[in-house]
Structure 1
């Protein structure tokens, strides 16, 4: 995968705590996180990809008795996650570096809105990399925004970021081709608290690694 994330980390460094203020009431993410936490044995190792501030997912998973490792490209987000979730372990790390990080293997992975920061050409590679970090039968909780866009620049809380998305049938196909079976899914409309961010349709897939 390419390593050019020019501006992406800088944008989230600048956003900091305003991210959680702009995206409150994350019912879909909490529900998918609950599935992941409940479906795994207590004390499982879970990777939180694009952990952000650690809220709500890393805290939810650690509160459920799991060992959470979070990674994020933004050093500001990593610091916030460490402050918010002292029971987790957090690293500033590019998604593309995970395969050689020595952090795995994991019983579960949470990837909530992290892969939408990649160009579409990189998403299948990222999913196969996450597949490789999971033990056989491991679980993946994945969320994306439904949108037919590829590496598209958008205004985001006073900054510019580049995002990609899929229509839901296309997302299912990409996930299955990466070696996952889909155990459940949900779709809900979400309106951020900030008028600087457009309403969106969020897709949640609960997946299991095929051997």
Structure 2
């Protein structure tokens, strides 16, 4: 499968800290991160996939006493995450780099968080990305993710003065894709979210708390 990330990392390098300013209220993300932290013991390894600035998830998990590793395609975001979460370890990488036999071997994890990162992939890649997450998890490992509910595939949108490409599913279809990749959905919440900037429309955010099916 040919990967096309043209402009995706560049857009988030340019956006920088404005991302957190545009999305100041992250109750759903914090609640799902809290679920993950509460279910794991101190010292457990967790991966923040698409860590962005490290706020709030990597910071939340680190402050809960977990061993946090973060990955992001944007070097600017990786640099910010390292400053915001000094106890974490962060890498500039694509999720494709984490596949079995890929160039970046981070070992296995007790938990993985992927908040609004899988939506940056074309739909054709999302099932493989989910199977990669399953591979990264230890047996019985936990996975929290969020997507924007929308029936779109690799669709270009204006975003904070830049252009990014996003994909989404209707909720029932998202459930099918996640379960087919080998996960049990334990808990689900959703939030109608209005960002604090004019060029990003209101969205329905879906959060799934999952367990690796073994």
Q: Which residue of 2 aligns with 1:65?
A: 65
Aligned with 2:98: secondary structure?
helix
User: Which of 121, 126, 131 pairs up with 2:129?
Assistant: 126
**Unmatched tracts of structure 1, length 5 or more:** none
Cα distance, 1:41 vs structure 2: 1.4
Query: Is the counterpart of residue 4 in structure 1 residue 14 in structure 2?
Result: no
Local SS of the residue matching 1:2: coil
Between the aligned partners of 1:2 and 1:95, the Cα distance in structure 2 is 14
In 2: Cα distance, 1:74 partner to 1:207 partner? 26
TM-score calculated relative to the size of structure 2: 0.97
2:177 to 168, 174, 190: 174
Pairing 1:141-156 to 2, within 5 Å after superposition: 141-156=144-159
CA distance in 1, matches of 2:117, 2:204: 15
Q: Normalising by structure 1, report the TM-score.
A: 0.99
**Aligned residue in 2 for 1:55:** 55
Residues 1-211 of structure 1 aligned to structure 2 (within 5 Å):
1-99=1-99, 100=102, 101-211=104-214
Residue aligned with 2:35, SS: helix
Unaligned runs of 5+ in 2: none
Shift of 1:104: 2.0
CA RMSD for the aligned pairs? Answer: 0.7
